[in-house]
Amino acid sequence: MSQYCVAPRLATDPTVREFSESFQFFDDDVLVSTYHKSGTTLAQEIVSCLLYGVEKTRATDQAVRSPFIDFRPPGGADPLEQARAMPSPRVLKTHLPAKYHRRHLKQAGGGPKNVIVIRNPKDVLVSKYHHFHGTKTFSEQVPSKFEDFWRAMVYQPAKHGQPDYFDFNLGWWALRDHPRVLVLFYEDLLVDKATQVRRLADFIGVELTDQLLKDTLEATSFQAMRDNPNVNVSRGGETDGWKAGVSFIRRGEIGDWKNHLTVADNEELDKAIAERMSGSEIQFVYE
């Protein structure tokens, strides 16, 4: 493995294997499935508000009510055991590619509902870079310069222990017509969140009143989530592996890539994106 490896090999990770092969899902489960830094937290909060109510959602640690079920940190609790102990309906987070979901997508009776969020690759790379460099461990294991980091993630993600952004999103996009799959775009969540909340409510079977919509929009604003310690895991203190002064929720905007990519690098990245997305109907929004 490279010196920059920051994740276990998915094929040999026991938690991933159990998720893929034997973990029991229920029809009222909601899986928020995203590539890293693509709007996962926002989608989790919206779904939680719709299913559990805004008051309970804001008052409960997101890691407790919506656990990251395919990742077990060294020495940490088994996330699948945590999920098994949860009452229905469950909101669960995963970063696993579609191929690890094949079993439950064929599950008799329907299986869980899968909410997929896709974000433009340039902003994903920027957000992922800052995420890794905000931790006490990963910051020493990934390239320190952004120009080296984005190339590592685009050209050789597996070498660095990371899933491939393009394979991940194309894999889920191919399943967009599956009745248990809803594909959203992060940029749409920012530009017209109300419409996307309505789509989500319809998909997961929640009656959306005007009051619930209003409360959900307020609770999932960028500032509200940033100010909520149950969502924003580090807000100044050195805690849970995060460096002091680092905020898990950083900027969450469209177009931050312009502050990081040179003209030449942007042109190179555009070419790489065009090659990998050739033939796809996905249209990214960059600003």
Task: Assess contact for 199 and 45: CB atoms under 8 A.
Answer: no
pLDDT at 165 > cutoff 50: yes
pLDDT at 235 > cutoff 50: no
The first and second tokens of residue 151, run together, are 């190339």
Let me know if residue 287 belongs to a domain. Answer: no
Instruction: Return d(Cα 58, Cα 41) in angstroms, integer.
Output: 13
Instruction: Return d(Cα 270, Cα 282) in angstroms, integer.
Output: 14
Domain CATH number, residue 248: 3.40.50.300
- Distances, alpha carbon 21 to alpha carbons 9, 11, 172, in Å: 16, 12, 19
Q: What pairs with residue 31 in β-bridges?
A: 92, 114
Let me know if residue 3 belongs to a domain. Answer: no
Instruction: Return d(Cα 268, Cα 275) in angstroms, integer.
Output: 11
Task: Catalogue the E-assigned strands of 18-96.
Answer: 30-34, 91-94
Let me know if residue 252 belongs to a domain. Answer: yes
Let me know if residue 138 belongs to a domain. Answer: yes
Let me know if residue 223 belongs to a domain. Answer: yes
Let me know if residue 182 belongs to a domain. Answer: yes
> Residues 85-110: pLDDT tens digits?
999 999 999 999 999 999 999 887 68
> Residues 199-216: pLDDT tens digits?
999 999 999 999 999 999
Quote the domain boundaries for residue 209: 10-276
Let me know if residue 285 belongs to a domain. Answer: no
What pLDDT is stored for residue 8 in this prediction?
43
Region 257-282: mean pLDDT is 96
Region 152-177: mean pLDDT is 92
Per-residue exposure over 243-261, b if at least 16 CB sit within 10 Å of its own CB, e if not: eeebebbbebebebbeebb
Let me know if residue 282 belongs to a domain. Answer: no
Look at the chain and report how many structural domains it folds into: 1
pLDDT at 1 > cutoff 50: no
pTM above 0.85, yes or no: yes
In this predicted structure, which of 48-52, 56-60, 119-123, 194-198 has the lowest mean pLDDT? Answer: 56-60
pLDDT at 243 > cutoff 60: no
Is the CA virtual torsion 252, 253, 257, 258 positive or negative? Answer: negative
Catalytic residues: 95
Region 280-287: mean pLDDT is 96
Lateral strand order in the sheet of 181-185: 91-94, 30-34, 113-118, 181-185
Omega before 112 within 30 of 0, i.e. cis: no
Secondary structure (3-state) at 216: helix
Torsion of CA 266, 270, 272, 275, to 10 degrees: -170
> Residues 185-203: pLDDT tens digits?
999 999 999 999 999 999 9
